[in-house]
Structure 1
Amino acid sequence: MRIGIYAFDDVTMFHLSVPQLVFDEVAHQGLGTWETFLFSDGQHTIRTSEGYRVGDLAGLDEARKADAVVMPSWFFDGRPASEAVRTTLTTAHEAGATIVGLCLGAIPVVDAGLLAGRAAVTHWQAFDLLAQRHPELDLDDSVLYIDHGDVLTSAGTASGLDACLHLVRSRLAARPRPTRWRAAW
């Protein structure tokens, strides 16, 4: 399974590292041939919010051929996804890829129209923004992640870890229950 993870200027290393660590562990443990790669929209090098430079990024064309596309976060200002990013997500989805929006990464997934009329979750700070921009969206603030089988979204940053582990569990033939997971507290 090839998994593309979107990288952009000012993304945090935590957001980039969570899906990479979880999905790469599948290969490290000999459980499957999973491979992650970072991609961006035109930039071959990005600078993280911590000041690290990350280079040798694949382009959007490579992401369109992935088995899963992960939007690990998004810009803090909640800007709408560009046409190129939306097209990448819809093209990958139409080709059968699972689309994952972790934390604020739900914003471009919703902007791409992949959750129209369905439930989604995102970071609490983006709920009002998404509700205004997409009134047809059923936002659920009581769950850590929601998996529709083809599109998965998660709440805050740490919830992204739960969502990634859920994806691994469901892809490695474990029964994917529950699809909406609530914390026990």
Structure 2
Amino acid sequence: MPIPIVAVVAFDHFSPFHCSVPCLIFGDILPGQPLFELRLCAGDGKASSHSSQGFSIQAPHGLEALAEADIIIIPFWRDPAERPAQPLLDALAAAHARGAEVVGLCLGTYVLAYAGLLNGRKASTHWEYEQDFLRRFPCVRLDTNALYVDDEGLVTSAGTAAGLDCCLYLVRQHHGSAIANQVARRLVIPPHREGGQAQFIQQPVSASTRDTRMNQLLDHLRAHLPEPHTLDSLATHSLMSRRTFTRRFHQATGLSVGEWLLIERLRRCQELLEASTHPIERIAELVGFKTATSLRQHFRARFAVLPSEWRRSFRGNKE
């Protein structure tokens, strides 16, 4: 049985990391055990592509190679506002119509979207570009947390290192888990990562506001996270009525008191998981959760991983 042909499409201003990931995984990753036939293709019609970092790539194949490929990978895209050349978009559409898998890694998802392949389908891209992507392609059902998405042969991934996860997934689909695990071991990476993009997104909570009195209160709350807080107690502390306090707090932070406290407690929990050896039960006490179970539930709901998984990923210790 012939091995799958993988076409990786290179462009000017390519990202060296994003382009090297599929070339590494679908190249001769297991010496003496060919898994794929790799073909590097010029997406701009030029044999040589250059990166902003001074790297250059010689692509021996043109877009005609996409007509034979079983898997076509767009490893990146240089500018979300730039519509790719129509010959490339037409070649991708034709390839998918004949049954080839079409893959967009990170901002490569934009290229698939410009080709119209993702209309009405699920997709993923780098979390920093989600709002821009949604504005440009409202017909795409963007999964804002997934590391990668496969919707009937249209495979897209989140940013940067998620391309590794996505490519390993393709190895697993074509050659099984045992081979994918061998590839992962050779790369010294986990064969499958838990969770999604949410664990890497900085939480959009400002350290301060334009309201001096609210800033003083927020500092007080951060210093007393383990204590119980109610609207009445905080209004009294701020020398305001409950109604005035509720309005001022929301105007200053854009959140309710309960929402703000939850985010701050989870943020502090992240810090303790990364920097301390406290068990989860003790961390729950230190950040103001009534039980470790409650902490686990809220942590998983927000970051799509358990606290113990977070600790393993960011510190290497177990719960």
Fold equivalence (TM over 0.5): yes
Who is 1:172 aligned against?
Answer: 175
SS in 1 for 2:125: coil
Greater shift, 134-143 or 56-65, is seen at: 56-65
Rounded Cα–Cα distance in structure 1 between residues aligned with 2:79 and 2:67: 25
SS in 1 for 2:26: helix
The counterpart of 1:121, out of the listed 121, 124, 139, is 124
Who is 1:36 aligned against?
Answer: 38
Contact 1:86 1:111 in 2 (8 A): yes
Who is 2:268 aligned against?
Answer: none
Query: Is the alpha carbon distance of 1:56 and 1:139 closer, same or farther for their aligned partners in structure 2, counting shifts above 3 Å?
Result: closer
More strand by share: 1
* TM superposition score normalised by structure 2: 0.53
More helix by share: 2
Shift of 1:42: 0.9
Who is 2:104 aligned against?
Answer: 101
Pairing of 1:71-150 with structure 2 (within 5 A) = 71-150=74-153
* TM superposition score normalised by structure 1: 0.89
1:114-165 alpha-carbon deviations (Å, 9 max, x no partner): 1111111101232222211211111111110001241100000100000000
Contact 2:80 2:110 in 1 (8 A): no
1:13 aligned to 2:16?
yes
Rounded Cα–Cα distance in structure 2 between residues aligned with 1:78 and 1:167: 28
Rounded Cα–Cα distance in structure 1 between residues aligned with 2:29 and 2:55: 26
Who is 2:195 aligned against?
Answer: 182
1:8-54 alpha-carbon deviations (Å, 9 max, x no partner): 1111211111001111245635163x111211131011112221221
Query: Is the alpha carbon distance of 1:77 and 1:20 closer, same or farther for their aligned partners in structure 2, counting shifts above 3 Å?
Result: same
Rounded Cα–Cα distance in structure 2 between residues aligned with 1:31 and 1:39: 20
| Count of residues in Structure 1 that have an aligned counterpart in Structure 2 | 181
1:53-82 alpha-carbon deviations (Å, 9 max, x no partner): 212431111122211100000013431222
SS in 1 for 2:72: strand
After superposition, the CA RMSD in angstroms is: 2.2
Letter in 1 for 2:73: V
The counterpart of 1:157, out of the listed 139, 155, 160, is 160
Rounded Cα–Cα distance in structure 1 between residues aligned with 2:32 and 2:130: 37
Rounded Cα–Cα distance in structure 1 between residues aligned with 2:152 and 2:57: 31
Contact 1:3 1:69 in 2 (8 A): yes
Higher relative contact order, chain-length normalized (CA < 8 Å, sep 6+): 1
Contact 1:13 1:49 in 2 (8 A): no
Letter in 2 for 1:182: G
Contact 1:123 1:155 in 2 (8 A): yes
Shift of 1:168: 0.2
Identical amino acids, percent of aligned pairs: 37
1:161-181 alpha-carbon deviations (Å, 9 max, x no partner): 00000000011144xxxxxx7
SS in 1 for 2:27: helix
Structure 2 alignment gaps of length 5 or more: 178-193, 197-304, 311-319
